[in-house]
Structure 1
Amino acid sequence: MARFLPRRIFLGGAVGLLLVTGAYAHHGWSWAEEEQMELSGTIRRISMAPPHPTLQVETKTDGIWRVELGNPRLTERSGFVEGVAKVGDPIVALGNRSLDRNEKRMKAVRITVAGKVYDIYPERIRTN
């Protein structure tokens, strides 16, 4: 049994590293462009479920976009909680678009719903 202990430690460490690396890649910004963009449209779907609340936003010219918010606690801290927005509300999202131009997806740093501003990542906002 003792001779298998180093192998188990190594395998456990490797699995842990994979989990941490995967979580970092998912929660990081490496998938998004550095430049920020503004997206205007109408909310078509709202999900407050973890790991990240998301909005489906329909634009007049570019169809449906997936707008990812911060983790649930961060999103709630911005004031954007369940019930403050509804399907059909106008929205302006400021954020970083996916590097994959075939993907209509952005990570929002600020959203404005029906005139109310929610700064999800205030430290990342590059414009006022």
Structure 2
Amino acid sequence: MRTRMLGALAALALLVPVLAEAHHGWRWTTGGNIELTGIIQDAQLGNPHGVLSVDADGESWTVEVGQPWRNDRAGLKAGDLAPGVEIRAIGEPSAEPEKRRMKVERLFIGEREYVLYPNRD
């Protein structure tokens, strides 16, 4: 019984980082960049990362921004990512285009650029 439990715990310990990477990593993206311009409809900011609902030419996109500390480091302030704000986002889209989802690397509000993932270029 103890051997089975230790084996199960070892398997779980190996599986947890894989699941975390699958959600928080870049594996679900294409590896290439697109540019998306639209109006924020909804913003859920916080951990593990912020998620925006953006209307881009009548299509609803899910746009993932950084964790709170990453957004702060990029210079984003409270209220910058609010409903009604127009953004231009550059980042990696989902490998499943029908999901209309992207992970932002750089974000523009007006002429101001916010670099969320500086090492992704």
In the superposition, the TM-score normalised over structure 1's length comes to: 0.85
**Alignment partner of 1:98 is 2:109:** no
Given candidates 18, 24, 29, the residue that maps to 1:27 is: 24
Per-residue deviation at 1:37? 0.6
Per-residue deviation at 1:12? 0.9
Higher CA-based Rg: 1
How many Å separate the matches in 2 of 1:25 and 1:85?
25
SS at match of 1:40: strand
Find runs of 4+ consecutive structure 1 residues off by over 4 angstroms.
none
Asked if the contact 2:43/2:52 (under 8 Å) is kept, the reply is yes
Asked if the contact 2:46/2:67 (under 8 Å) is kept, the reply is no
Corresponding residue of 2:47: 50
Corresponding residue of 2:83: 87
Deviation readout 1:16-48 (Å, 9 max, x if unpaired)? 222111001112211101110100111111111
Residue segments in structure 2 that go unaligned for 5+ positions in a row = none
Moved more, 67-76 or 48-57: 67-76
Corresponding residue of 2:60: 64
Distance 1:11 1:49, change over 3 A: same
How many Å separate the matches in 2 of 1:97 and 1:104?
7
How many Å separate the matches in 2 of 1:31 and 1:41?
22
- One-letter amino acid of the structure 2 residue matched with residue 84 of structure 1: D
Corresponding residue of 2:112: 116
Tell me the percent identity: 33
**Alignment partner of 1:74 is 2:87:** no
How many Å separate the matches in 2 of 1:17 and 1:26?
15
How many Å separate the matches in 1 of 2:13 and 2:71?
28
> How many residue pairs end up in the alignment?
121
Deviation readout 1:81-127 (Å, 9 max, x if unpaired)? 432232111100000010001111000001112332110001113xx
